[in-house]
């Protein structure tokens, strides 16, 4: 009997079972995050994983409802394409390295344009040789500088609408779980330090609202928030977990709308590490026109000359 031939039906069956993605068993939000990064199309939330279920007599129980809600709030599962084709494609905010390559999506394009948005994802060693990389070369100092075109991201402020002035002195905190999560003590310290009449906290973690219910001067609006710039006067910028913010958009928009920005726990030593924030802050204070997107921006000529 040919062992290889006998395995063909098994391999074929396995491929058919996996073609639309894998559903993984999880018993915690941390396991769900691992499943998301591994490319699972869904998860099954259980009280305990199957190996432990067997150890406890084979009794399977549904997980706590709070775990399911937490997974639904913080995890995104999707049947991603395996192959994408076209003529030219432009990726912004790290979409090329963070999604397409990380999840094994094959690309077939004449030209690939990519804005860099991380000091951990690189382009110089990719299998694709038709990539035009755009990055602010002040921010990065690695091998990608040898293949990149120097370009800093800009914002088309002339399409922004007018806003109304907030009625009270309010400060905004942005503490979403993907990169700016703060512990309760840190939030309390910030409130005690700055003493604003009101605080608006943007977060995808609803547990914050429950825990800070006794604080009557804190508002947790449901995101996305309509007319967010009409809700606060001052933005309290806090460090990211990775100590790197490649080209902060929100602080530039705050400057456009004449909002104050307080850089909490940010000093010169921190800015030597977070060069993305360092140079975005510098441009806002010294060359705001240089980060304003115009109709005749250099990006048009860059794309034309590379297709």
CA dihedral 77→79→84→88, nearest 10 degrees, is -30
- In angstroms, the CA 86 to CA 88 distance is 6
Distances in Å between the Cα of 204 and the Cα atoms of 111, 112, 177, 218, 290 are 36, 33, 7, 15, 33
Q: What is the pLDDT of residue 253?
A: 97
Q: What is the pLDDT of residue 10?
A: 52
| Choice between 13 and 208, residue whose per-residue pLDDT is larger | 208
* Closest by CA position to 76, among listed 27, 44, 35, 107: 35
pLDDT bracket for residue 167 (50, 70, 90): confident
Q: What is the pLDDT of residue 286?
A: 97
Q: What is the pLDDT of residue 150?
A: 96
Q: What is the pLDDT of residue 198?
A: 95
| Choice between 201 and 51, residue whose per-residue pLDDT is larger | 201
Residues of the chain with pLDDT > 90, as a percent, come to: 50
Fold classified for 158-291: Rossmann fold (3.40.50)
- In angstroms, the CA 69 to CA 151 distance is 41
Instruction: Give long-range contacts, CB 8 A cutoff, 24+ apart: 154-161.
Output: 154/290, 154/291, 154/292, 154/293, 154/297, 155/249, 155/252, 155/253, 155/256, 155/291, 155/292, 155/293, 156/292, 156/293, 157/256, 157/292, 157/293, 158/292, 160/253, 160/256, 160/257
Q: What is the pLDDT of residue 6?
A: 54
Q: Poorest-confidence range of 103-117, 192-206, 278-292?
A: 103-117
User: Which residue in this structure is represented by tokens 């998860």?
Assistant: 43
Which two structure tokens, joined as six digits, stand for 34? Answer: 């691992």
Q: pTM value?
A: 0.73
Q: What is the pLDDT of residue 1?
A: 47
Q: What is the pLDDT of residue 221?
A: 93
Span 62-83, mean pLDDT? 78
**Contact, 24 vs 35, CB < 8 A?**
yes
Whether 11 has a pLDDT exceeding 70, the answer reads no
pLDDT bracket for residue 222 (50, 70, 90): confident
Whether 21 has a pLDDT exceeding 70, the answer reads no
- In angstroms, the CA 221 to CA 232 distance is 12
Mean pLDDT of the chain: 86
* Closest by CA position to 118, among listed 253, 235, 271, 274: 274
Span 106-125, mean pLDDT? 89
- In angstroms, the CA 190 to CA 173 distance is 10
Whether 7 has a pLDDT exceeding 60, the answer reads no
Mind listing the pLDDT tens digit for each residue in 232-266?
A: 999 999 999 889 998 899 999 999 999 999 999 99
Distances in Å between the Cα of 122 and the Cα atoms of 129, 144, 253, 262 are 13, 6, 28, 32
Domain segments of the chain: what residues? 21-74, 83-154+296-305, 158-291
Q: What is the pLDDT of residue 271?
A: 96
- Residue 115: exposed, middle, or buried by beta-carbon count in 10 A (0-12, 13-18, 19+)? buried
Span 100-113, mean pLDDT? 83
Mind listing the pLDDT tens digit for each residue in 79-101?
A: 667 778 888 988 887 777 776 77
User: Which residue in this structure is represented by tokens 């608006």?
Assistant: 200
């Amino acid at each position: 009997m040919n062992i290889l031939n006998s395995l063909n039906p098994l391999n074929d069956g396995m491929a058919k079972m996996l073609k639309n993605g894998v559903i993984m068993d999880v018993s915690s939000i941390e396991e769900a995050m691992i499943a998301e990064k591994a490319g699972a199309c869904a998860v099954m939330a259980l009280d305990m994983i199957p190996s432990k279920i067997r150890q406890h007599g084979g009794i399977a129980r549904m997980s706590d409802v709070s775990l399911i809600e937490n997974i639904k709030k913080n995890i995104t599962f999707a049947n991603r394409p395996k192959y994408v084709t076209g003529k030219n494609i432009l990726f912004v905010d790290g979409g090329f390295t963070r999604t397409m390559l990380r999840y094994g999506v094959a690309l077939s394009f004449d030209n690939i344009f990519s804005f860099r948005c991380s000091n951990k994802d690189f382009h110089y060693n990719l299998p694709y040789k038709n990539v035009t990389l755009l990055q602010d070369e002040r921010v990065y100092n690695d091998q990608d500088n040898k293949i990149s075109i120097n370009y800093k991201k800009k914002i088309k402020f002339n399409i922004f609408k007018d806003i109304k002035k907030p009625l009270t002195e309010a400060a905004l905190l942005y503490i979403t779980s993907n990169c700016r999560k703060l512990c309760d003590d840190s939030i309390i310290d910030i409130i005690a330090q700055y003493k604003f009449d009101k605080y608006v906290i943007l977060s995808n973690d609803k547990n914050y609202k429950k825990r800070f219910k006794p604080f009557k001067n804190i508002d947790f609006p449901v995101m996305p928030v309509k007319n967010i710039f009409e809700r606060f006067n001052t933005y309290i910028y806090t460090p990211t977990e990775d100590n790197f913010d490649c080209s902060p958009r929100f602080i530039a928009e705050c400057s456009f709308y004449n909002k104050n920005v307080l850089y909490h726990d940010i000093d010169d030593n921190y800015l030597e590490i977070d060069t993305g924030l360092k140079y975005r802050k510098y441009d806002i204070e010294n060359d705001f026109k240089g980060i304003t997107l115009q109709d005749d921006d250099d990006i048009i000529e860059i794309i034309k000359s590379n297709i």
